[in-house]
């Protein structure tokens, strides 16, 4: 089976003068099928944004991509020139970041920013055609009064409207794959629900594939078909969203889900069980399981070597000695 996206053994570290390298992605392997939504779940600092930037060829100079391959429709993106990658960005894959304000130029009108993207990829379109396509895409992402929005500056829009504009910008050249990196984290709950509903609608209507990144399992459960859980730069669990989020196998996923508040009589109750401690510093590569210092199920061998990823149940991969490995 050929996947839309196939990432194999991706290893990225950050290098700063005088410091040992920070091993941020330590062998990420994942796939995304046509029309599928893959959720990427993990704590702050586990490497989610670094993974997104690596997929788009946008890693900063301080990052080194040591090993691995990223294939989109069978083409290895790491073998492409910067010009070829630039062309793919927007036409084949796009990204929406957490903060729509920083994704938009503060003193350029929304329409100009949208038509810039169209011009970069469709230089043959006339000004009128670019505006028509821009306004149609604003409408498609659920914005009414598109003429006013087209001529507005970003600060004249609400946070939810700005995020819709950013989504329109990402989708205007009809990419096959959208990477959404915490796209709702800066929004209030009502707007968050609207943006999630929009992404689900766009997936259906455009047969869009989606990588949806979040630290929040509840948000991931709204959109993802499949989930990978990342801990300290490694995938520790993978399976269908329903199975992973309802009956997690890895002790980290179990602890993460046990921290979720429950609804009692209309108010949120936070459980006593919390995920104590912090993830290891990426400059220190642990010998054994990176989660061992925080794991309630830790065994002697966990600190001596790393568990291999094993198939714990049909369609469920997990990296933990409790399941073999």
The secondary structure of 266-317 as a DSSP string is TEEE--S----S-PPPTTS--SS-TTGGG-TT--GGGGTSPPPPEEEETTEE
Nearer to ligand SF4, 112 or 274 (CB): 274
**Both structure tokens of 24:** 């941020």
Number of residues that bind ligand SF4 (CB under 6 A): 13
Q: How many CB atoms lie within 10 A of CB 204?
A: 10
Q: Does 214 bind Mg ion (CB under 5 A)?
A: no
Nearer to ligand ATP, 59 or 310 (CB): 59
Q: How far apart are CA 307 and CA 305, in angstroms?
A: 7
Quick one: which of 169, 176, 144, 170 has its CA closest to 157? 144
The binder of Mg ion chosen from 49, 113, 161, 253 (CB under 5 A): 49
Number of residues that bind ligand ATP (CB under 6 A): 15
**Range 271-300, binding ligand SF4 (CB under 6 A):** 289, 291-292, 295, 297-299
Residues 6+ apart with CB under 8 A from 4: 32, 33, 34, 36, 72, 73, 176, 177, 209
Say which entry of ligand ATP, ligand SF4, Mg ion, none residue 42 contacts (CB below 5 to 8 A, set by partner kind). ligand ATP
Nearer to ligand SF4, 179 or 312 (CB): 312
Q: How does DSSP classify residue 233?
A: T
The binder of ligand ATP chosen from 4, 22, 117, 320 (CB under 6 A): 22
Residues 6+ apart with CB under 8 A from 56: 89, 93, 95, 179
The binder of ligand ATP chosen from 7, 46, 93, 171 (CB under 6 A): 46
Number of residues that bind Mg ion (CB under 5 A): 2
Nearer to ligand ATP, 41 or 141 (CB): 41
> Sheet harboring 234-240: ordered strands across?
93-96, 177-181, 209-214, 37-42, 226-231, 234-240, 316-318, 310-313
Say which entry of Mg ion, ligand ATP, ligand SF4, none residue 291 contacts (CB below 5 to 8 A, set by partner kind). ligand SF4
Write each residue from 259 to 288 as x if it is in contact with ligand ATP (CB under 6 A), else as -, in one continuous string.
Answer: -----------------------x------
Q: Does 322 bind ligand SF4 (CB under 6 A)?
A: yes
Helix and strand element counts for the chain (H, E): 11, 14
Q: How far apart are CA 228 and CA 39, in angstroms?
A: 6
Q: Does 212 bind ligand SF4 (CB under 6 A)?
A: no
Say which entry of ligand SF4, ligand ATP, Mg ion, none residue 223 contacts (CB below 5 to 8 A, set by partner kind). none
Nearer to Mg ion, 39 or 288 (CB): 39
Query: Phi/psi zone of residue 314: left (φ > 0), alpha (ψ -120 to 50 degrees), beta?
Result: beta
Nearer to ligand SF4, 149 or 302 (CB): 302
The binder of ligand ATP chosen from 5, 7, 10, 24 (CB under 6 A): 24
Least distance CB 51 / ligand ATP (angstroms) = 7
Q: What are phi and psi of 181, to 5 degrees?
A: -100, 100
Which residues would be at the binding site for ligand SF4 (CB under 6 A)? Answer: 251, 289, 291-292, 295, 297-299, 302, 307, 320-322
What residue ranges bind ligand ATP (CB under 6 A)?
A: 14, 22, 24, 42, 44-50, 60, 62, 215, 282
């Amino acid at each position: 089976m050929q996947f839309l996206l196939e990432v194999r053994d991706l290893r990225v570290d950050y290098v700063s003068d005088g410091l040992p390298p920070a091993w941020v992605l330590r062998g990420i392997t994942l796939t995304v099928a046509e029309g599928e939504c893959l959720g990427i779940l993990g704590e702050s600092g586990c490497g989610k944004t670094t993974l997104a930037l690596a997929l788009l060829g946008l890693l900063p100079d301080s990052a080194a991509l040591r090993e691995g391959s990223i294939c989109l429709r069978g083409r290895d993106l790491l073998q492409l020139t910067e010009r070829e990658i630039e062309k793919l960005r927007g036409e084949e894959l796009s990204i929406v970041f957490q903060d729509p304000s920083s994704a938009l130029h503060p003193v350029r009108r929304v329409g100009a920013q949208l038509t810039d993207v169209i011009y970069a990829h469709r230089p043959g379109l006339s000004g009128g055609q670019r505006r028509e396509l821009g306004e149609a895409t604003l409408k498609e992402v659920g914005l009414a009064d598109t003429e006013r929005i087209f001529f507005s500056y970003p600060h004249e829009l609400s946070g939810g409207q700005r995020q819709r504009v950013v989504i329109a910008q990402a989708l205007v050249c009809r990419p096959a794959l959208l990477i959404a990196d915490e796209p709702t984290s800066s929004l209030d709950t009502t707007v968050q629900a609207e943006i999630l509903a929009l992404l689900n609608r766009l997936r259906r209507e455009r047969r869009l594939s989606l990588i949806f990144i979040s630290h929040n399992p509840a948000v991931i459960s709204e959109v993802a078909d499949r989930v990978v859980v990342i801990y300290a730069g490694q995938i520790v669990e993978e399976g269908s969203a329903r199975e992973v989020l309802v009956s997690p196998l890895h002790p980290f996923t179990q602890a993460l889900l046990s921290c979720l508040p429950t609804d009692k009589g209309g108010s949120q109750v936070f459980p006593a069980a919390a995920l104590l401690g912090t993830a290891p510093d990426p400059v220190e590569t642990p010998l054994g399981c990176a989660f061992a210092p925080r794991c309630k199920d830790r065994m002697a061998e966990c600190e001596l070597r790393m568990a291999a990823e094993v198939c714990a149940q049909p369609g469920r991969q997990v990296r933990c000695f409790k399941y073999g490995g």
